[in-house]
Amino acid sequence: MRKIFKIAGAIIAILIIALVIVFALAALDVGSYSSDANSSQTLPAKGAMVGNALVVFDPGMSGNAKNVATAVASSLQDNGYQVTLAGIKSQAATNYSTSGYDLIVVGGPCYMGKAASSVQNYLKAFNPPQNTTVGAFGIGSIQPDGNTTQVIAKEVAPLPNGSAVMIKAAMKIVSGEDINEKSTNFVKELLNVYSFPVP
């Protein structure tokens, strides 16, 4: 009889732990419903304007993903782009196909090595005009499995099967990395500013 109680207790403990994990993951994704997720702003190009860019972000719970999006936007401004910095639930984020953007960057937090569900849902309907340059970013605590654009993009911006979208540059920032430096290098890769070919 004692053995049955021990087994039943272990099963109940496992169920409670599973429920706690599910609720924790749901709570982490609540950040996409914050006011930042619904807002947008247009930032002017620094110097001569060369194009229009859209940076779409899920702010996440900590707001660090917004910090990355802001750093990317600032680097794009430095390169002559007028930038619309848009929360993932904002009208600007969903009107990308008719707004004449030359470049679109999408990103947000990664939880347990996966892009936030709001980013995944956004990408399911993502279909930019054919000549638009696309980049993606993520921020999290787990290093990606590799350092190629394809490997990182698969984690931070998992496109649905059959998607025609090509991600030109992707980055993931983990704890302790310099957001500004990494964002500047990401934008250089995205714009092909390097003097050598980028894989």
Q: What is the pLDDT of residues 10-35, one digit of tens each?
A: 888 888 887 777 665 555 545 444 67
Total Cβ atoms within 10 A of residue 151: 14
Cα gap 143→147, rounded to integer Å = 9
pLDDT band at 148 (very low <50, low <70, confident <90, very high): confident
Mean pLDDT for the chain?
A: 86
* CATH number of the domain enclosing 152: 3.40.50.360
Q: Which domain holds residue 144?
A: 30-191
**185 found inside a domain:** yes
In the chain, the largest separation of any two C-alpha atoms, in whole Å, equals: 80
C-alpha dihedral sign at 74, 139, 60, 94: positive
Distances from the Cα of 28 to the Cα of 35, 86, 110, 136, 142, angstroms: 15, 20, 10, 20, 15
Q: Where are the beta strands (DSSP E) in the chain?
A: 40-43, 51-57, 81-87, 103-111, 114-115, 133-140, 167-174
**197 found inside a domain:** no
**36 found inside a domain:** yes
**25 found inside a domain:** no
**116 found inside a domain:** yes
Confirm if 159 and 123 have CB atoms less than 8 A apart: yes
**pLDDT number for residue 24:** 58
Question: Rounded to the nearest 10 degrees, what angle do helices 64-78 and 179-191 cross at?
Answer: 50
**23 found inside a domain:** no
**6 found inside a domain:** no
- Judged on CB neighbours under 10 Å (0-12, 13-18, 19+), 94 is middle
- How many independent structural domains does the chain possess? 1
pLDDT for 179 beyond 90: yes
**152 found inside a domain:** yes
* pLDDT tens per residue, range 79-132: 999 999 999 999 999 888 777 899 999 999 998 889 999 999 999 999 998 889
Mean pLDDT of 70-78: 97
pLDDT for 151 beyond 70: yes
